[in-house]
Chain A
Amino acid sequence: MDGINRWDVFSMITENLQTKLKLYRMTEEEYDLMKSLLGREPLSIEWPLFSALWSEHCSYKSSKIHLKKFSYRNQNTPLMDGENAGVVDLGCGEKIAFKMESHNHPSFIEPVQGSATGVGGILRDIFTMGARPIMSANFLCFGEVNALKMPYLMNGVAKGISTYGNCVGVATVTGQTNFHSRYNKNILVNALNVGYFAPDQKMALSGASGEKNLVVYVGAKTGRDGVHGASMASASFDDDTESKKPNVQIGDPFFEKLLIEACLEVLNKELVVAMQDMGAAGLTSSSFEMASKGNVGLVIDLKKVPLRDETMSAEDILLSESQERMLLICKPDNFEKLQNEFKKWSLDAVVLGEVQKSRIIKLMWGIESLTEIDPDLIVDKAPQYKRPYDVWSYPQRVDFLEPKNISVKNLITAKLQQFKLNQHHWIHNQFDQRVGARTAMACESSVAFARLDYSGRGLGLAVGCRPEVMLMDAEIGALDSVYYPAFQLAIKGAETLAITDCLNFGNPQKIEIMTEFVTSVEAIAKASRELDAPVISGNVSFYNETLGENIISTPATGVVALRSSVEHIIPDAFANSLESIILVQTNWVESWVYVDQFANKISKYKCNKLQDVAGFIKKCVGLTAYLKQYDKKISAIKAVGLGGIGTTCLKMCQSNIGFDLSYDLSSVNESELFKDIFYGFIISTAEDSAEIISILKKYFASANLECDIKKIGETRENEIKISQNTFLEFSKFKEIYFQDIDNNFDALAVRL
């Protein structure tokens, strides 16, 4: 050490450490933990392993202690801890697996590939369990249309989802699109998939087992795309998103389609012991998790990994998030058969190593050993943080104030503008909604239904979370994230079965964000218990903040429900002219007014806690069957959404049938037309309205649910009459409703 004193060496080491911590996005405490678990300094190859698997994205270190609150299960939901998605037993031998996942950060950096690989990733989570993906859905939040890059992001996301989803041949059946300025610099792209197990279909597990069994790599070659993707997704954004583009993975849906077919085939031929997709943190997470879950060790030679770029280092290989890759465990005797099956689908299967009894992962580079490490150190011993939070104190809940200085006309104009913006046919029209020949109700409706192949029953699916409600009160908003989609499914005759969630939040190190997070988790857990619908899978996405500005806390959900058949599901849209329009409204859940951003006015509201909503939702399931007992039919039914009766009626005008709400002035006050209503619904019927009203009253009263039920208008052909003084030209309305965003992008921001 001539010429260098000890202090210099020390400072070189600390500087070196700081650089490493920054590069691997770890804290000093985490470094200390890593060192004490290993009992030594980490080797250079171990840094990326810990970095990836201890990232928020992979380890759920800020949320894990709270996610335990979703432990409620019932007889339909077997415990499947640690598997890729939750499973629901539907009876009749049928099962489904479903899950929702975020791809927010990549989609903001590169919308087409970011959203496409989001779809691809969630599909792999499903078919890796042996289920055939049958329904896709998405939950999107964009900023204001005139925000920087927003049209580019919106078009890109729609294109990414459609290109990927259509090509793999899975119907995209429902979705929700929200717009708010708080998403200007951090859009949300959440993808959901439901997979189906027919009675004879085998379920796959992800725990490796069987000494000397082979570790097999299948699918696309490994490239540099997505290296460090998991840790990128676990950090906040600054202004420099361009430089992060190389972190975004590139997807190939054609490859995915081949993988789906090949993987399901080898599973059904029982050639596979365990299977796991290479998602976030690629080969690292898949191999370590398979070993940890199976209580075994693995020997893996990284030199055998098929590469797109031969100059890739061991670290690159471990962290690459190249898409469409799977890791399989198979018995040595079955390998040839397995390889032939994959060859049929034009896919390579390569042996990387084998399973060993001792719980050690041995990473090799040819004959050179890179590291030997206990997988549990990285998988199970990841740090868990009890980040500080407060008790929810309803900070924004205020009493109702009559919105001042807003004329009814301005209110209507504002509501219509918002309505216009929220129409997203131009997105849904790009999705193949009917491939699979199972779709009974798709994106044109508030909820989706697919026919289950074996039993012929209807599987309902809806996504939820209304950012406007979250903005006002995280507790009510999170309850509503579950109740509202469940309610929308219930009025179509489907009983809620289970829930998945995708919890999109800002920086968990900020106490107000963590408070909203904990409040939301508890509210969702409560709603889930009340509906007897367990939260069986989910995903947490933190650090949705850019330059210190957080998104609206957005706990998105996916709710599945079951209906006895797919026949006679009552549509959303008005079908016939001169029918009665009837409003059914709970009178114990107080409604509220929310004058939105478009009116540039105050937002004031009043809302009770959502009490007894679960009971009402459950009762709604049997509604149409009950009417049938009296030989009564209804032709349209739709939940009243934000924007109240007026907006909901507008949404029900999908054919040439409009409405007239002015028929009885005493029934609805003009200023009340666009007042938000919680948990009410509108029906259209050709039957005698007085009779229907009395039957409905009796029905709900039998469960001690007092509802206000009244006729509010009638359907009209080619006519929309909102009030005595307010008409809409039907053709103009349709033009707005169905316009393509490309044709008339500017028009979105223009006043009606």
Chain B
Amino acid sequence: MSFKVGIIRFLGTNCDADVKKWMTLKSHRAVYLWFENQFNVNDYDMLIIPGGFSHGDYLRCGALAAHTPVMKSVKEFATKGKPILGICNGFQILCEAGLLPGVLLKNDLQKFKDEWAMLKVIQNRSPFLQGTKKDQVIKLAIAHGEGKYFAETETLNKLVDNNQIWLTYENNPNGSVLNIAGITNENKNVCGLMPHPERALFEWMGSTDGMYFL
């Protein structure tokens, strides 16, 4: 099935072109949406917020992006139950915007980390990763300085109870609580993950597991 996908660009977004290539490969129609403008939520089937350093990571990762005009439409999109995927900085933005619970803190080693990570699919009911089986292990690259997922116990309990934990690290690279690499909202339509599926599409990239998505 071909979707019309909105890719949101902020100042400093740097995985926008990569995500567009990925969507084209999956035969979806992808359109860029600029952070200064609101959009008609009926025009798109799904949204992706790509990675990068939106607004220079000033203040906190994703904090400034979360308060830009485009996010009003994104929130409306979420309320309608339509699917939204945040990758890396996109995940941070979704948390800052309150569309996903918790926060992403500096990695335990206080350093940026780029490596391949093995991830376990905890639930496959999100709209983005239905091609996998529960407990399947997939290989994706991570590249982040602030990817340590953190939430208070109460929130974590809710995440577990509602089956919102989406992906976990097999070898925790950053100190995330419960090894969390990705979560969804209660409705399962808003999803965020730190690893980059768009960097794992061909054998030559090192993994093809990004193709499981969408």
Within 8 Å CB of A568, what residues of B? 204
Within 8 Å CB of A159, what residues of B? 111
Q: Flag A430-449 by CB within 8 Å of B: 1 or 0 each.
A: 11111111011000000000
Q: Is the CB of A435 within 8 A of B203?
A: no
B113 within 8 A of A: yes
Specify the chain A residue showing the minimal Cβ separation from B16.
A169
User: Known: A435-B143, A439-B205, A440-B205. Is A430-B15 also a contact (CB below 8 A)?
Assistant: no
A257 within 8 A of B: yes
Q: Which of A41-49, A117-125, A160-168 contacts B (4 or more CB under 8 A)?
A: A160-168
A140 within 8 A of B: no
Within 8 Å CB of A431, what residues of B? 112, 114
User: Known: A254-B58, A433-B114, A435-B15. Is A167-B143 also a contact (CB below 8 A)?
Assistant: no
Q: How many residues of A contact B (CB 8 A)?
A: 34
Q: Is the CB of B56 within 8 A of A166?
A: no
Q: Is the CB of A430 within 8 A of B114?
A: yes
Q: Flag A249-277 by CB within 8 Å of B: 1 or 0 each.
A: 00011110110000000000000000000
Q: Which of B162-170, B184-192, B194-202 contacts A (4 or more CB under 8 A)?
A: B194-202
A612 within 8 A of B: no
- The CA of A569 and the CA of B204, in the complex, are separated in Å by 8
Q: Is the CB of B204 within 8 A of A257?
A: no
Please give the distance in Å from B37's CB to the nearest CB on chain A.
11
Specify the chain A residue showing the minimal Cβ separation from B141.
A434
B57 within 8 A of A: yes
A429 within 8 A of B: yes
Within 8 Å CB of B205, what residues of A? 434, 437, 439-440
Return the contact of B199 from the options A167, A169, A437, A740 (Cβ within 8 A).
A437
B59 within 8 A of A: no
Q: Is the CB of A429 within 8 A of B15?
A: no
Q: Is the CB of B114 within 8 A of A258?
A: no
Q: Which residues 74-115 in B have Cβ within 8 Å of A in the complex? A: 109, 111-115
Q: Is the CB of A567 within 8 A of B11?
A: no
Q: Is the CB of B112 within 8 A of A166?
A: yes
Q: Is the CB of B198 within 8 A of A430?
A: no
Q: Is the CB of B204 within 8 A of A434?
A: no
B149 within 8 A of A: no
Within 8 Å CB of A162, what residues of B? 111-112
Interface contact tally, CB-CB below 8 A: 90
Among B55, B114, B141, the one with the most A-chain Cβ atoms within 10 Å of its Cβ is: B114
- The CA of A740 and the CA of B111, in the complex, are separated in Å by 10
User: Known: A167-B12, A345-B11. Is A254-B56 also a contact (CB below 8 A)?
Assistant: yes
- The CA of A253 and the CA of B12, in the complex, are separated in Å by 9
Within 8 Å CB of B56, what residues of A? 167, 252-255
Return the contact of A434 from the options B11, B112, B143 (Cβ within 8 A).
B143
User: Known: A432-B143, A740-B109, A742-B109. Is A567-B203 also a contact (CB below 8 A)?
Assistant: yes
Q: Is the CB of A257 within 8 A of B14?
A: yes
Q: Is the CB of A437 within 8 A of B201?
A: yes
- Tell me if B's interface is mostly helix, strand, loop or mixed: mixed
Return the contact of A437 from the options B12, B109, B114, B198 (Cβ within 8 A).
B198
- The CA of A626 and the CA of B98, in the complex, are separated in Å by 58
Specify the chain B residue showing the minimal Cβ separation from A432.
B143
Q: How many residues of B contact A (CB 8 A)?
A: 31
Q: Is the CB of A429 within 8 A of B113?
A: yes
Q: Is the CB of A440 within 8 A of B204?
A: yes
Within 8 Å CB of A253, what residues of B? 53, 56
Q: Flag B122-147 by CB within 8 Å of A: 1 or 0 each.
A: 00000000000000000001010100
A566 within 8 A of B: yes
Within 8 Å CB of B145, what residues of A? 166
Specify the chain B residue showing the minimal Cβ separation from A167.
B53
Within 8 Å CB of B21, what residues of A? 437
Specify the chain B residue showing the minimal Cβ separation from A428.
B114
Q: Which residues 541-576 in A have Cβ within 8 Å of B in the complex? A: 566-569
User: Known: A254-B53, A429-B113, A440-B205. Is A435-B11 also a contact (CB below 8 A)?
Assistant: no
Q: Is the CB of B15 within 8 A of A258?
A: no
Within 8 Å CB of A168, what residues of B? 14
Among A253, A428, A435, the one with the most B-chain Cβ atoms within 10 Å of its Cβ is: A435
Q: Which residues 340-355 in A have Cβ within 8 Å of B in the complex? A: 345-346
A224 within 8 A of B: no
Q: Is the CB of B12 within 8 A of A257?
A: yes
User: Known: A434-B141, A435-B15. Is A169-B112 also a contact (CB below 8 A)?
Assistant: no
- The CA of A432 and the CA of B194, in the complex, are separated in Å by 13
- The CA of A174 and the CA of B145, in the complex, are separated in Å by 20
Among A345, A430, A451, the one with the most B-chain Cβ atoms within 10 Å of its Cβ is: A430
Report 20 cross-chain contacts, Cβ distance below 8 Å, ordered by A residue.
A167-B12, A169-B15, A252-B56, A254-B53, A254-B57, A257-B12, A257-B14, A429-B111, A429-B113, A430-B113, A433-B114, A434-B114, A434-B141, A435-B14, A435-B18, A437-B18, A437-B21, A437-B205, A451-B204, A740-B109
4 more A-B contacts (CB under 8 A) besides A162-B111, A434-B114?
Answer: A257-B12, A433-B143, A434-B143, A742-B111
Closest 8 CB pairs of A and B: A169-B14, A254-B56, A437-B18, A566-B204, A432-B143, A167-B53, A440-B204, A434-B199
B residues sitting closer than 8 Å to A (CB atoms) are 11-12, 14-15, 17-18, 21-22, 51-53, 55-58, 109, 111-115, 141, 143, 145, 196, 198-199, 201, 203-205
